[in-house]
Amino acid sequence: MTRCEVSMVVEPGSTQVTKTGAWRTFVPVIDHDKCIKCSLCEIFCPDSCIHQVEGNFVPDLDYCKGCSICAHECPRGAIEMVLEEK
C-alpha cells in the first residue's frame, strides 16, 4: 500500500520567500520631515510591509506591491508614488 508522504503542514509566515515587490510599478517615497508618525500607513498596508525603522516609517520594498493605499491615506501627503525604474 502506498502512503501519502506529502505533509500539508508548512512553516509559519513562509510566504516571505516570495518577493512580491517584483509586481510593483510605482514605489512609495516617504518625506520623513512631513511625517507626523501617525502610523496610518503601517496600519493600512495590505502587505504588512511598512515598519518603523529608527523612528521613521519605511516600506519594505521586497514585498511592497505599489498599491498606493499609504499615499492616499497619509493625512499629511508625505508619501508620493514615483514611477520606479528597474
What residue ranges bind other proteins (CB under 8 A)? 8, 10-20, 23-24, 39, 42-49, 60, 62-63, 65-69, 71-73, 81
Instruction: Determine the distance from the C-alpha atom of residue 42 to the mean position of all C-alpha atoms in its chain, rounded to a whole number.
Output: 8
Comparing CA positions, the residue from 52, 44, 46, 51 lying closest to residue 72 is: 44
Least Å distance, CB 1 to other proteins, is: 24
DSSP string, 29-67: EE-TTT-----HHHHH-TT--EEEETTEEEE-TTT----
Least Å distance, CB 84 to other proteins, is: 13
1 or 86: CB nearest other proteins: 86
Least Å distance, CB 47 to other proteins, is: 5
